[in-house]
Amino acid sequence: MNSTPDATAPVAPASHHAEFLKAFFRNSSHVGAIAPSSSELSGILADTVAWDSVGCVVEYGPGTGVVTEEVAKRLHGRVRFFAIERDPQLAAITRRRCPHLEVIEGCVTRIPELCRERGIEKVDAILSGLPWASFPPDLTKAILAATFEVLPPGGHFATFAYWQGLLLPGSRGFRRLLKEQFSSVERTRTAWRNLPPAFVYRCVR
C-alpha cells in the first residue's frame, strides 16, 4: 500500500502542526520552530505591506501557509504574488490551503531567476518566515544578495524573530546584518500568543 500523502487531498487544520513537526525533524536547520506561526503573528507580518501601493510581493518559506492565508485576505487584482518553499511536503500543504496562489518549490536564492521567468522586474515587498538564526552566515548573505537583485531601494522586507532566541549568536549576527544592509530596521509589537512569543523586523532597503 502506498503511504505517500495525496497532494490533492484536503488537509485538515489539525494536521498542520504534525506536518510542520515532521518537516522540523527532516531538516531542523531550515525549519526553525516546532509549530507554525500563530494567526496573530501572521497578521502582523502581512500587515507590514502597504497592499494598496505595491505591485509585487514575494513570501519566503511559507511553511504550512498560515502567512500565505493572511496574504490571500489582503491581495487584490493589481498585486502579483508568489511564495517559495524549500520543503516539498510543506509546499504541497500551502498549495492546498491557498490553491489560487502560486507556491514554488525551491530555494529563495533563485528569486532573481524566478522573477525573470515571470516577467517581473522588481519586487516591492518580501515577507519571510525563514529561520535566519539557524542558517550559516554564508547562506544568509547569499539569500540577501539574491534578494537585493530584485528588491530596489525603498523596497520593504519583513521577517519575524523569537524573543527567546535574541541573545543567541545567530540571532545577534542576523540583527547586525539587517542594520548594516537596510536603511531602516524597526520592530513591531509582540505576538504574545505565538509559540514562542515573537515580533517582526520591518526593514526598508
H-helix segments, the chain: 16-26, 39-46, 66-74, 88-97, 111-117, 137-150, 169-181
The whole-model pTM stands at 0.83
pLDDT digits (tens, 9 = 90+) for 101-111: 999 999 999 99
Q: How many CA atoms lie within 13 A of 142 on its CB side?
A: 9
CATH ID of 13-184+192-204, from 3.40.50.150, 3.40.50.12160, 3.50.50.60, 2.30.30.90: 3.40.50.150
Tell me: pLDDT of 162 over 60: yes
Q: How far apart are CA 67 and CA 198, in angstroms?
A: 14
Tell me: pLDDT of 58 over 50: yes
Averaged confidence pLDDT in the chain? 87
pLDDT digits (tens, 9 = 90+) for 26-37: 454 444 444 577
Which residues neighbour 168 within 8 Å (Cβ) at sequence distance 6 or greater? 133
**Under 8 Å between Cβ of 19 and 94:** no
pLDDT digits (tens, 9 = 90+) for 61-86: 999 999 999 999 999 889 999 999 99
pLDDT of residue 195: 87
pLDDT digits (tens, 9 = 90+) for 135-144: 999 999 999 9
Tell me: pLDDT of 201 over 80: yes
